[in-house]
């Protein structure tokens, strides 16, 4: 077995750190965009309301009751700035564009760090928890950028890139692992297929988690608007630049369906094949196998309930969020505290 390329490994660590810094900057700019958008919307609504009141006063003064412009403030309060197809309606967001550019730069540095780590070790770069988490963060940010090509998901930037920053920080602080060769049980071509599909699934589930959280917030806002409890100039105005809760749910459902296919093919099917090759059985009730199946059951239940039982709205969102919570438990708790055949965290004893 060839020795580890320590120089390339150091470059990998350096570019991983650089990527984390750029992601943090992108997250901050996305957050600034969210705050500025809220302030801009609030200012425009105040101006529109003042103009409408002045016009109404002039109309009354001129006795043109039938032409009174009293409807303008209501339209200004209720009209959202993004349609159901996630297309923004004439809004300019320079800060969001800068944040997207920073994210592209971060993904480039991140991809180099992941690839160079694999080349330095002479294997696929996702054989321990540090590598799995950093690769998962790369998948989340890359899927976010790819989705931007077809749909304007800039409203999701603060939440998606925020999760990426958390994943990068967790990998660096919680699971630091030097570049090294893997133990014999992991020296199999099934490692690439099995873990790649799992990482892709986790990346999609992370994005849908962010969308489901936004869906819950947007649904509550919509109820307040419908009941008249929320004024147009009050509340979290940034949510007017977020699609409706129904649109968010539909897109989360589609992405969850794709992630579910990846999870079925990865942790379950290819995992069972690899287990038979390594240990002589397809299923052994190992704790990691059990929790992988639990996650599959939760997302299968979510897809089935939404498609056939009419589980829409908040119930579907919460079921999807529970599925993601199971993934976090499986990764952060089962891998660390439950001994088993899948104890490949790479952490020091």
Q: Which tokens go with 324?
A: 């993601």
Residue 317 has pLDDT above 70, yes or no: yes
Residues 198, 173 share a domain: no
pLDDT at 223 over 50: yes
5 compared with 17, residue with greater pLDDT: 17
pLDDT at position 145 is 92
In a domain? residue 74? no
* pLDDT for res 72: 42
Lowest mean pLDDT among 25-29, 189-193, 316-320: 189-193
Domain membership flag for residue 77: no
- Among candidate residues 114, 149, 182, the one where a domain is terminated: 182
Same domain, 259 and 162: no
Instruction: Report the predicted TM-score, pTM, of the whole model to 2 decimal places.
Output: 0.75
Question: Looking at residue 162, what is its pLDDT?
Answer: 92
pLDDT band at 294 (very low <50, low <70, confident <90, very high): very high
Q: Tell me how far CA of residue 122 lies from CA of 178, 213, 282, in angstroms.
A: 14, 40, 28
Domain boundary (124, 147, 182) is at 182
88, β-bridge pairs = 82
Domain count of the fold of the chain? 2
Q: Tokens 């760090």 belong to which residue? A: 113
244 close to 80: Cβ distance less than 8 angstroms: yes
Q: Are residues 147 and 194 in the same domain?
A: no
Instruction: Please report, rounded to a whole number, the percentage of residues in the chain having pLDDT higher than 70.
Output: 75
Q: Is residue 83 assigned to a domain?
A: no
Q: Are residues 60 and 167 in the same domain?
A: yes
- Residue 179 banded pLDDT, cuts 50, 70, 90: confident
Q: Residue 185: which pLDDT band, with cuts at 50, 70 and 90?
A: low
Name the domain boundary from 120, 152, 182: 182
Q: Are 335 and 119 in contact (CB under 8 A)?
A: no
pLDDT exceeds cutoff 80 at 325: yes
Q: Which residues contact 304 (CB under 8 A, 6 or more apart)?
A: none
| Digit-coded pLDDT (tens) for 123-176 | 888 778 888 889 989 999 998 998 888 777 788 888 889 999 999 998 888 888
Residues 224-279: tens digit of each pLDDT: 888 776 655 445 667 777 888 898 999 899 999 999 999 999 888 988 888 888 77
Mean pLDDT of the chain, nearest integer: 80
Q: What local confidence, expressed as pLDDT, does residue 124 receive? A: 80
- Same-domain check for residues 177 and 239: no
Which residue range forms the structural domain that includes residue 300? 183-343
Work out the pLDDT band at 46, boundaries 50, 70, 90.
low
Residues 93 and 54 grouped into a single domain: yes
18 falls in which pLDDT band (50, 70, 90)? very high
**Are 4 and 22 part of one and the same domain?**
yes
Q: What is the pLDDT of residues 60-108, one digit of tens each?
A: 566 544 544 444 444 444 455 555 555 554 455 688 889 999 999 999 9
Query: Looking at residue 148, what is its pLDDT?
Result: 87
312, part of any domain: yes
Token readout for 212 is 């489901």
Distance CA 143, CA 62 (A): 58
């Amino acid at each position: 077995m060839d020795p580890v390329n320590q120089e390339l490994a150091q470059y990998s660590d350096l570019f991983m750190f650089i990527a984390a810094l750029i992601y943090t900057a992108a997250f901050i700019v996305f957050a600034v965009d969210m705050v500025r958008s809220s302030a801009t919307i609030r200012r425009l609504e105040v101006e529109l309301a003042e103009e409408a009141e002045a016009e109404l006063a002039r109309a009354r003064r001129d006795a043109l009751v039938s032409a009174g412009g009293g409807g303008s403030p209501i339209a200004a309060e209720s009209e959202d700035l993004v349609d159901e197809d996630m297309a923004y309606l004439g809004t300019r967001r320079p800060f969001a564009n800068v944040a997207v550019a920073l994210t592209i730069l971060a993904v480039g540095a991140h991809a180099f760090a992941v690839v160079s780590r694999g080349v330095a070790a002479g294997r696929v770069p996702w054989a321990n928890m540090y590598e799995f988490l950093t690769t998962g963060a790369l998948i989340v940010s890359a899927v976010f950028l790819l989705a931007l090509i077809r749909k304007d998901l800039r409203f999701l930037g603060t939440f998606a890139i925020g999760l990426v920053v958390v994943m990068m920080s967790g990998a660096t602080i919680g699971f630091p692992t030097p570049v090294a060769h893997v133990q014999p049980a992991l020296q199999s071509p099934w490692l690439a297929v099995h873990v790649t599909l799992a990482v892709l699934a986790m990346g999609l589930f992370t994005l849908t988690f962010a969308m489901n959280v936004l869906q819950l917030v947007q649904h509550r806002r919509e109820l307040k608007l419908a009941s008249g409890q929320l004024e147009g100039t009050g509340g979290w105005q940034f949510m007017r630049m977020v699609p409706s809760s129904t649109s968010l749910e539909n897109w989360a459902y589609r992405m969850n369906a794709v992630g579910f296919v990846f999870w079925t093919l990865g942790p379950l099917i290819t995992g069972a094949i690899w287990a038979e090759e390594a240990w002589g059985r397809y299923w052994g009730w190992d704790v990691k196998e059990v929790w992988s199946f639990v996650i599959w059951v939760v997302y299968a239940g979510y897809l089935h309930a939404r498609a056939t039982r009419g589980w829409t709205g908040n119930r579907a969102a919460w079921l999807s969020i529970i599925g993601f919570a199971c993934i976090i438990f499986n990764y952060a708790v089962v891998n660390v505290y439950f001994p088993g055949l899948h104890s490949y965290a790479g952490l020091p004893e």
